[in-house]
Amino acid sequence: MPTSFLQMECTFLDRLSTRIMGFYSFFLCLLIFSVISSNVFTAYAFKGTYGVNYGKIADNLPSPRSVVTLLKAAKIKNTRIYDADHEVLKAFKGSGIEIIIGLGNEYLKDIAVGEDRAMNWIKENVQPFLPGTSIVGIAVGNEILGGDDHELWEVLLPSVKNVYDALHRLDLTKVVEVSSPHSEAVFTNSFPPSACIFRDDISIYMKPLLQFFSQIGSPFYINAYPFLAYKSDPEHIDINYALFKSNPGILDEKTNLHYDNMFEAQVDAAYAALEKAGFPKMEVIVSETGWASRGDDDEAGANLENARTYNYNLRKRLAKKKGTPFRPKFVAKAYIFALFNENLKTGPTSERNFGLFKPDGSISYDIGFTGLRDSSGASSFIPFKVIAACITLVLLISAS
C-alpha cells in the first residue's frame, strides 16, 4: 500500500476521532446542563399571555365552582389568588385552569424563621391539591418592597428561599414557580422608560432577591396601572395614551424608541431598571393591571367607558403575542385586576370597582366575554354537566 495513501487514511481517522470526541463533549455538556437545570430552575407559571386576578374581598361573590364555569366560558386559563383558599383549590381540581396562589404578607415573618415553617405551609396548602389542581406558582408576599413595613423588607428573601427549598425537598420546583410581585413604588423614576431605576433604599434588598430569582429562573412580576398614573396627573397625561387609543405617543430620546401606550412604557421601565441592576435577561410579567369602572369625584378617568376601553384594547394587545419596544423578543403578558368587583375593599370607590364581572356573574361591560348571567339577570350560560346530560338523553332516545 502506498505511503501517501496510509498517510491520508491516518489523517482521515485522526479527524474522524476528533469530530467524534467533539460531538461526545457537546452531548456531555448538554447532559450536564440538563441535570443542573432540572435541579435548579423552577416551573414556568404563565404559559399564555392573558390571565386574571381572582380577588375575594366581598360577601356576595359566586361560589368557586361557578367561578370555574365562568373562567371556562371566557376561555381564561391563567389566574392568581391572594391566598390558598382550600375551597377554591378544590373547585379548580380537574379544570385545567392554572393558578398562582398567594402566601400572604402576614405569614412572612414566621416563614422566614426556617425551612420547616415553609414546609408545613406547603404540605397544608399546596401538596394535597397536586396534581389535580394546577397550582403553578406561589407568590410570596405582595408589594413588600416599597411598602410601609420595613421589617417585611428584611424577611422577604429568607421567606422566598425557605419556600423554594421546601419545594425542592418535595421535588416540586419543576411544577411550582416561586415569585414575589412588586408595585411601581420600587422605582425612583419611570419616565422616560430608559431612565427607570430601583430606589436606593430598596436596592440593598432588591438585588439579592433578583439574584436568587435569576438563579432559579423566576420572572420579575410588577403591578402596573396606567389608571393610577393618569389619576395622579390627568393634566399632563393624555387619556388616549393611557387607554391604547390613537395619540402622538412619546419618544424616549435615549433609546430612540416610540411608545404609543403607557402599558408598554411601564413594562419597559421595569426592563430598564432590571438591566441597570445587572439582570438584562430577566423577563417582566405584569401581575396586576386594570381600570376602575367607578370612582370618587377626585378620581379622574374612573368610569365605565374608560374601563371597557382599557380592558378591551389590552386584551387585543396581549392576543398579538408581541414584545415591547425595548424587549421585542419577550412577549408581553399580564394578569388583569380583577375578576369581580369586591364590595368589602377599603379605600376610595375605585378600589371596589375593578371587576370584569359583577358579583352575580354578569359582565360589568362588554369586552367579548360571556357572563354567568345576562343583563336581565337570567342565566346566559348552561353548566357543562347539564349539556352532557342532555346529549346523553338524546343518544339514549335515538338508540331506542
For residue 59, give the C-alpha cell: 360577601
Q: Distance (Å, rounded) from C-alpha 342 to C-alpha 275? A: 37
Report angle CA 176, 34, 215 to the nearest 5 degrees.
55
DSSP state of 350: G
Q: What length does the chain have?
A: 400
Question: Does residue 115 carry a catalytic annotation?
Answer: no
Q: Known catalytic residue: 351?
A: no
* CB proximity list for 208: less than 8 A, separation 6 or greater: 157
3-state secondary structure of 93: coil
Calculate helix-pair angle for 200-216, 150-169, nearest 10 degrees.
Answer: 10
Q: Which cell is 10 given?
A: 491516518
Query: In terms of Cα–Cα distance, which of 356, 337, 332 is closest to 259?
Result: 332
The CA-atom distances, in angstroms, between 67 and each of 34, 74, 87, 288 are: 39, 10, 12, 19
Q: Which three cell numbers stand for residue 389?
A: 346530560
User: At a CB cut-off of 8 Å and minimum separation 6, what does 121 contact?
Assistant: 103, 107, 111, 163, 166
CB 268 within 8 A of CB 327: yes
Query: How many C-beta neighbours within 10 Å does residue 1 have?
Result: 6
Whole-number Cα distances in Å, 88 to 20, 56, 82, 181, 313: 55, 10, 11, 21, 29
How many other CB atoms sit within 10 Å of the CB of residue 152? 20
| Residue 181, preceding peptide bond in cis (omega within 30° of 0) | no
Q: Which of 98, 264, 288, 299 is catalytic?
A: 288
Phi, psi values for residue 278, rounded to 5°: 100, 20
DSSP letter assigned to residue 243: T
Catalytic: which of 143, 177, 283, 299?
143
Supply the residues annotated as catalytic: 143, 288
